Structures are given as C-alpha cells and as structure tokens.
A and B are shown apart, each in its own frame.
Chain A
C-alpha cells in the first residue's frame, strides 16, 4: 500500500533521495512546505539548507552549489520565480545544471494563492535576459512529480542547464498514496569548481560569444529532437483533440473518457514536457481532425499558441482551428469542460487561431 504524502513534502523527499545536497530559498505560499521539510531533512543526510534573504539570493546560492558540481535545488512560486530569472539566465550562460521548482499560483504582481497555470509563457519562453531555454516538466500527480525530480536532475546534468518542475499550488498541497523511490548516490560533477582548477575555464573577456551561441542553440535543437514527452490517446481517430497539462490535464482526460462513452470522437495530448513542447504528438493526429482544444488554468490562454504552431507545423496543408478553454485558476471540473466542448461544437466558442 502506498503511503499518503503531501505533494510538496514528497517532492522534497524525492530531491533528497535524488542526491540533492543544497537547498536555498525564501518562503512563499504554496511552495513553502518544500523548504520547511528540507530545513530539517537535508542536514540529516549531510546536505545543507540555507534560508536566504530573498529568492534572488536563493538562486545565487544555488548557482554556488551548482558551480561546485553538487545537486542543488530552489523552489518558489509566482513572484518569487520572477526574482530567480536573473540567476536562471546565469545558469544557462554558465551551462550549470540545477533544478528549480515553481509551485504555480495565480496572478500578476503579488497575485493570489490559487492553483494555476499562469506562468506557462515565462517558464517555456525564457523569462530572464538573453537567448536561452529551460527544460520544463509538468507533473499531473504526486507520483509523477517524484519521478520528475529524478528526471529533472538527469536532464539538467545531461545537457548542463536548468530543469524546472512546473507544478501547481493544488498539487503541492494535496495528498495521495505514493511509492517513494530509493536513494541514489551522486558524485561531484567532473566539470565542477573544486578549488584545484581541475576544470579549466577561459577568462570572461576571452569568450567567443558567436561560437557559444551557435553551440548552445545546437544543444537546444538536440533537446527538442530527443526529449519531448507526452501522454496521449485516440489521436488517430479523433475529430477533436484536447491538449492540457498538469492537474487540468487529468481533468481533461476524465472529460475525454466521458465524451467518448457518449459517442464523441475525441482524444487528448497531455504534455509532460512544456519545453521542449511535444510537437511530435501532433504528428499522430488524424489528418481530418476538426479542431484542437487547449484546456488551461489561466485567463489569457497561453499554451494555445504552442498548440496552434504545432498543428500548423504537422498539418501544413490544413488550416486546423485551435480553440482555448481558459478557466483562469483552479482545476476545471469535468462537467465544465464537457459543457464548453458543446459550445465549441455549436459555434458559440470561436477558435483562437
């Protein structure tokens, strides 16, 4: 039998078991349980915990830990992640691996505490200054979030970049029975600063920015090719394909199941990587598909842009309409999604693209 764990606690314990040796961060609802848990837990396993004076300091402490080649972690939410963008851009520039967790809450500025998906644009398009990418994983259950902690570190180290887990307030606060994986041993990364100048570095004024940028882009293209992840069903037969991630993604799956029982030819794509976006899933869609529908927990409709671009890329000869059902915050109820699907069929809800 699985044991009941709170999402944030489970993520924190998973980080410990994945070999995380430094956490630094600043409290913010609904992510705080991660740091509370690690404040006691990391010292038990020989790790370090620093309560930073700000999210800005927190990400910079993580840069220190990452530069020294140890698995490091910071977590925050909404405005806290805004402050971390500077450091995430530095991590991208220095090609350091680190994991950042955004337990997303709704709103601009200070925002609210409601569970949401309003930070999609920021997390998937960059966020900080420059010309970089971040791998973005979006779990839809606590068990998957635990797997994503291990996966995030592996991908971050494989490609030497930031991997973000874009979870949601509700997923952080809720509990589910889960199985916790075993501990793994992690050694210092071979490229780490160790005080002995083992890993040679050129001076900052001697860098070849043109070559670096081209190499970095090549790396990002490799990731786009190799690391797209998603879950999908009934794409080859579907007249309408729903696209939704995280907790709304699960609710969407429930709606699709019920709609199919009622005789509608629908399918779904649940992106697991928000970047790289699972374009390849769109290759599997029925050539005669009548529409793509994103289900999102934000007001403006954000992922719909990527869904529209992906269907355009994979069905170049068609002009497949792409709709968006934005529920602002929370987790849309299955019956709401079904009701709005009927409005799409009746023409009451128009396509975005």
Chain B
C-alpha cells in the first residue's frame, strides 16, 4: 500500500492532484482512498489530502506515514516533513518552498519549478498537473499513457476537459522532469 500527502495553499490544486492519482489507481482496479482536510481547515488558505492505494485492503484512510509528500508551499512542508516515512520522497515546489529543507537526511528531496514549467506551456493553472506527472513517475506504479488517459477521463466526467491538451503537456513535462 502506498501513501501520498498532497498539500499547499487553497487554489494550488492539491486536492485535484490527489484526485487524479486516485482515479489513476481506481482505473487499475486497485483499492483507493482519498481523504481531504475539510471545514475550517480549508478556510485558512491551506489544503491537503491523503491518498492511499494498493492491492490489499486499506484499513485507515487518514494520514499515517506517507511514502511521498507533495509540498507546494512553506507551511505544508513544515506541517508534514516529519511524518514522511524514512526513505520517502518529498517533492517540493521550488519557487514557493523557500525554507530550510535539509533537516532530515533520511528522505529524498526533489525540487521542481512547477509554476515556471506550467507558465512556459502557457498553462499557468497547470502547476499541479506538472507535479502530478512527477508523482506518477516517482511512484513508479503506473504506465504514463494509462495515467494520462485516466486523468483525461476524470476531467471529462467533471465537464472540465477544455484544457485536455495542455494538461497532457503539463503532465508529461512533470513526468519527464524527474
């Protein structure tokens, strides 16, 4: 079973990024849970969700010990860095995570300038998709094309498929970056 925490400011698309990974896992008939922060926790401007997936039963959908942390800003990094499993991966938005990041030597820090990459693709709202591509690559559980196809289906289901081409480019950019 794999556990990923997606965290950032509200509006950075971390819940959506978690949903995309969940849908990719569901499309492979894996067990999946997606657990968001909610209520007043949403109002302060931070958002996070925990996604778990795997072949076997998921006994607890809430945050325990993530294999991967996506931190899109400083508060998210600080909130979750000490929860990451030893040997785990921390993926940071290098433009907004500016705090000291090398306190833990037992995790792999990977920095991606996701906003810049998204802007270069003329898709400024696609920074979360760039990160999603990177996460899929880092987790190494899903084939790239299957993942893109599951993402496309998810957006289509929500009636939000007008960015389909750009989302695919953003996903590939993230996937290829790492």
Q: In the complex they form, do A and B come into direct contact, defined as C-beta atoms under 8 angstroms apart?
A: yes
Q: Are A174 and B60 in contact (CB under 8 A)?
A: no
Contacts of B59 in A (CB 8 A): 250-251, 253-255, 257, 334
Once bound together, how far apart are the Cα atoms of A257 and B57, in whole Å?
Answer: 11
Once bound together, how far apart are the Cα atoms of A176 and B36, in whole Å?
Answer: 12
Contacts of A174 in B (CB 8 A): 33-36, 61
A343 at the interface (CB under 8 A from B): no
A-facing residues in B38-54 (Cβ within 8 Å): 38-41
Contacts of B26 in A (CB 8 A): 1-4, 177
Contacts of B19 in A (CB 8 A): 4, 175
Main SS at interface, chain B: mixed
Given known A4-B22, A174-B36, A175-B19, contact A330–B41 (CB-CB < 8 A): no
Contacts of A333 in B (CB 8 A): 60, 62, 64
A29 at the interface (CB under 8 A from B): yes
Q: Are B39 and A4 in contact (CB under 8 A)?
A: no
Contacts of B34 in A (CB 8 A): 4, 174-176
Once bound together, how far apart are the Cα atoms of A199 and B40, in whole Å?
Answer: 48
The interface bits of chain B over 124-165 (1 if a CB of A lies within 8 angstroms of the residue's CB, else 0) are: 000000000000000000000000000000000000000000
Please give me the residue from chain B that is nearest to A3 by CB atom: B26
Please give me the residue from chain A that is nearest to B41 by CB atom: A113
B171 to chain A, nearest CB (A): 18
Contacts of B41 in A (CB 8 A): 113
A-facing residues in B43-93 (Cβ within 8 Å): 57, 59-62, 64
Q: Are B29 and A173 in contact (CB under 8 A)?
A: no
Once bound together, how far apart are the Cα atoms of A335 and B63, in whole Å?
Answer: 12
Please give me the residue from chain B that is nearest to A333 by CB atom: B64
The interface bits of chain A over 207-235 (1 if a CB of B lies within 8 angstroms of the residue's CB, else 0) are: 00000000000000000000000000000
Q: Are B62 and A170 in contact (CB under 8 A)?
A: yes
Once bound together, how far apart are the Cα atoms of A30 and B40, in whole Å?
Answer: 10
Contacts of A80 in B (CB 8 A): none
Interface residues on B, range: 20 to 34
A9 to chain B, nearest CB (A): 13
B28 to chain A, nearest CB (A): 8
Once bound together, how far apart are the Cα atoms of A222 and B23, in whole Å?
Answer: 44
B98 at the interface (CB under 8 A from A): no
Contacts of B114 in A (CB 8 A): none
Please give me the residue from chain A that is nearest to B64 by CB atom: A333
Q: Are A29 and B38 in contact (CB under 8 A)?
A: yes
Contact of B39 among A1, A113, A257 (CB under 8 A): A113
Contacts of B118 in A (CB 8 A): none
Contacts of B36 in A (CB 8 A): 173-174
Contacts of A177 in B (CB 8 A): 26, 31-32
Once bound together, how far apart are the Cα atoms of A71 and B120, in whole Å?
Answer: 55
Once bound together, how far apart are the Cα atoms of A1 and B24, in whole Å?
Answer: 11
Contact of B62 among A176, A255, A257, A331 (CB under 8 A): A331
B7 to chain A, nearest CB (A): 16
B-facing residues in A5-41 (Cβ within 8 Å): 29-30
B138 to chain A, nearest CB (A): 22
Once bound together, how far apart are the Cα atoms of A284 and B81, in whole Å?
Answer: 45
Q: Are B64 and A334 in contact (CB under 8 A)?
A: yes
Contact of B61 among A29, A255, A331 (CB under 8 A): A331
A107 to chain B, nearest CB (A): 12
B-facing residues in A231-278 (Cβ within 8 Å): 247, 250-251, 253-255, 257
Q: Are B60 and A331 in contact (CB under 8 A)?
A: yes
Q: Are B23 and A4 in contact (CB under 8 A)?
A: yes
B4 to chain A, nearest CB (A): 14
A30 to chain B, nearest CB (A): 6
Q: Are A335 and B64 in contact (CB under 8 A)?
A: yes
Q: Are A334 and B35 in contact (CB under 8 A)?
A: no
Q: List 24 A-B contacts (CB under 8 A).
A: A1-B26, A4-B22, A4-B23, A29-B40, A113-B38, A113-B40, A170-B61, A173-B36, A175-B19, A175-B32, A176-B32, A177-B31, A247-B61, A250-B60, A251-B60, A254-B59, A254-B60, A331-B61, A333-B60, A333-B62, A333-B64, A334-B60, A334-B64, A335-B64
* Inter-chain pairs besides A29-B38, A175-B22, A334-B59, 20 sampled, C-beta below 8 Å: A1-B29, A4-B22, A4-B26, A4-B32, A29-B39, A30-B38, A113-B38, A169-B39, A170-B35, A170-B61, A173-B36, A174-B36, A175-B19, A176-B61, A177-B31, A247-B60, A247-B61, A251-B59, A253-B59, A332-B60
